[in-house]
Chains A and B, each alone.
Chain A
């Protein structure tokens, strides 16, 4: 090969690719570190120091000796100067209840149906015995982080919450631990998340699992059955009830579910029972507060996880003596934050406010206190904020604030955040002070005026500081982000450079070797389209709507690309039938490029038929996949096939699942038959695949029987056996495939059509091995997906598999119709649109968490994380595995001269482009989206739309690396083994 003008050598390409991948990984890690900071939290628990003004310089208070609970309680009472308003707390969490159901929306009462469903609660509200708030929950609206926010008053960093599928013991300062420390006894009934968060806190507990979403009755019955007993018992101070049923009703049928009124009635009944029980204890001096909260709302369709106002609209309803009043307007839009619950309850029960709290107390709850005491509660809340601010802003110091104010006069327009905070806080303390001075004044009106001023000043400070603290988590080091992005851009440019060099070198060598290919030098429609399509996609990433509805973009681009293929195919068919002379000439050319997917002896008309039918099939099945899941965010309520199937009989879904399993097994058998197996090994792999198929069928069968039963040992063990057999047979195929095909056979000589027998022999060995390995990967992968995915996804999965096979057949029937790189990108596009066809969206809510526990007997974050990744990226990974099959077809293309027949050269032909192009396309998407995210960092939707999408983009990058890695390792291994065998063979024959 001519070295100077030739394409870069395989080693150089591999080296540069590695370098750019490494650069990309480093850049990505830097960006993630910079963009999603792990928010610093103050360690330890608030103690007596929280009642004093913090001194400057030292953020942490001194350690005080641990006191026994009773002494601690009286100490707190003494220091706080505020008597506890309540002694007992019933915290009733109704999972997923939107505040709209109880409090209405925009000042209007809820719908009549809702009003009638909760008669008791509504009577409390209209009787002014309860105070209700729309407590805005922070995204992601998932149960566990919301519970943490409620009890600690802190909002975790984005990554912290997004990745925390694993519920571990909660170690930060929080209300429940504070209550426990002052000797309260806690009882928990309901969602076991509480037990995972506080494993040692409760003296009695009965956890129910939220694992079986289909169960709407049993979960709540398991809570309510203890109710009578617990309400009669007087030993507890805090009773936590967590009802999951309403959330499950939502997940099954959405907001308008027929089960919803019934479930609301049941909840109303619980409220009535609890309220009656606690208010009948009039003889008792204990004062009980009943708090009804929801952790998050739900969308129209009943899902949650995002940040739409339907999902964040959670309820906080307080029922107790301190909120009772003579006049009220219950359906006013009272806005609060979910985190406000923590300081409010802390102050009501006389415990220190949790250290990391950013909530502001709800003053309406303190109506029974005197004005002075109320101001003291504000002061305590401000002192806690002050400590938190000092930890975040080391220079911040209240004494300096007061000094500067007394000195040079007030800055009316404070510039920095510190100054503004300083100003507001000193204002608040001042007005508090003057209110205290005028306390004994004779004029009530003056006193009230000072009191009002002080409350306003405190509120202003607290709200401003709360907002600033919650935005603190989004503070990002700009230079780090920019340098991370520049690393990614460099890596992307490297990849582009490599591809450009390859093409330049290739076109040069083609000019040398095949003069006939000169005709193909101008750009084709599909090539222009791909470049333009990627460009359009990159632009669309800048719009939050297009990010939310990305499934449309990918389906549109992919279908258009295949429509262009259809047009090109039609054109070539027309051309061939026009000029028969050209046709016969070409037939000779095709004879060299035969593959097993299509037999060599196809007559031209039949081949044309294949070419057209495969594209048509891909287009039509693509449309079916598009219609399967509506997906997205805005139009998710539109009807689609999956919704109508869910309403239909479940046996139809089972039947579709069985059909899919059968079809995958059948297709695998057919493709193995094309290899004309005379080998025991292939038979073994086939049998194991068949057995795995049977296991999947068994699993489907078992899970049909066991939908209601929590115990599911049989399905778990079936899945485990499946995992073991699959991994063994795939590994076996990978290791054995290059050894089982003959390097010298009769067939090879017959098909080599005289040109060069050796070429054909080498290539046939490699191609057969690649084909066998690839199709085994893909077939087992499909079975794995059929096992893990939701039952409804069986048909889309089968269709994606068929699309992959059809693409390969289409590309192999006429290798010169589309350029190789176009074919590879087309397959990648198929994988990406299939990703959305399996019901994935760019919101974290669509991740199938339930599937991630199939076959796992004990909880393991790593294993379920891997399974979740496999489920979510089933389609792109399937297409990457399909590229192993595909590369068995393209390797024979264009190798005709003996000088090109080096092993490295074959390897180069086979995997360079299939590895590089996915990396390049992914790199373009990643880099451009990172830039978009940097620009959008102050956008309103940055945490709800753009950041979740970024996690998906990162996972897609990992998925690309995995796919390319599998392809490269397989090809390198096969080529090395075959070259070794070839050398041995030659040595022997000599």
Chain B
């Protein structure tokens, strides 16, 4: 297969994740403390603006077939993937009960763009239109068998973000009357937390598989 071409070391993966986290923290610092609660649309917009170039650039460098596909082409795929992924995420959120009123539109849009950056865009940059790879990323079975490090770096944070967002929605119907229970604040918190946990898991998995592979080679 092609995986030898884009093999990433654990250190490289850590650097990539650190870059993504930097984007998030920078946006958070820029928007100010508690901005997500007071003005979610604004804070989410900043998050998207800071995160989008970083994610697209980093994952375009990691593209699957660097020989046939230029960096720019991969970045263009990422840019194209951004609205597509946002549409899919927005569909999921609305089907699961996100409010559809006009006053929620901007927040929903930015939230789904952010989710797209967490989930869809990295895969779009790296894989393009390769069906086999997409299918691997969708399924959870790639955790069980040894795979490419990039696969882990894409799928673990993406799954983490989705699961985090899903769990983050649970407090919404409670009658605590807190502002952060509003859509999409707690869901965003959940997804970011899940994203970070997913990154940690992906690093762990990369290290573990690397060790296992080394041991296998030594044998």
Residues of A within 8 A of B (CB): 522, 525, 536, 540, 543, 545-546, 548-549, 552-553, 555-556, 559-560, 563, 567, 570-571, 574-575, 577-578, 619-620, 622-623, 626-627, 632, 634-635
Contacts and interface: CB of A to CB of B under 8 A. Distances in A.
Given A567-B138, A574-B134, A577-B131, A559 B95 contact: yes
Nearest to A539: B170
Contacts of B97: 552, 555-556, 559, 623, 626
Contact of B173 (A552, A559, A571, A627): A552
Interface residues of B, number: 23
A571 B138 contact: yes
14 contacts: A522-B141, A543-B174, A546-B173, A549-B173, A549-B174, A555-B96, A556-B97, A559-B97, A560-B166, A563-B95, A563-B96, A571-B138, A623-B97, A626-B97
A623 B135 contact: no
Given A525-B140, A567-B138, A620-B95, A545 B131 contact: no
Contacts of B134: 574
A549 B169 CA distance: 14
Contacts of A619: 95
Report, nearest first, the 3 A-B pairs whose CB atoms are least far apart.
A549-B173, A552-B173, A634-B175
A635 B131 CA distance: 44
Contacts of A578: 131-132, 135
A553 B174 CA distance: 11
Interface of B: 92, 94-97, 100, 131-132, 134-135, 138-141, 144, 166, 169-170, 172-176
Nearest to A550: B173
Contacts of A555: 96-97
Contacts of B139: 571
Nearest to A579: B132
Contacts of B92: 563
Contacts, number: 58
A522 to B, nearest CB: 8
Secondary structure dominating the interface of A: helix
B88 to A, nearest CB: 10
Nearest to A578: B131
B210 to A, nearest CB: 24
Nearest to B171: A545
A546 B174 contact: yes
Contacts of A553: 173
A545 B140 contact: no
Nearest to B100: A627
B94 A623 contact: yes
B135 A556 contact: no
A634 B96 CA distance: 20
Given A559-B95, A635-B173, 10 more contacts: A525-B140, A545-B173, A545-B175, A546-B174, A556-B169, A560-B96, A574-B134, A574-B138, A622-B95, A632-B173
B140 A623 contact: no
Contacts of B169: 556
Nearest to A639: B101
Contact of B135 (A540, A575, A632): A575
Contacts of A574: 131, 134-135, 138
Contacts of B173: 545-546, 549, 552-553, 632, 634-635
Nearest to B166: A560
A559 B96 contact: yes
Contacts of B174: 543, 545-546, 549
Q: Which of B94, B134, B139 has the most chain A CB atoms inside 10 A of its CB?
A: B139
A822 to B, nearest CB: 16
B125 to A, nearest CB: 19
A629 to B, nearest CB: 13
Contacts of B166: 560
Nearest to A575: B135
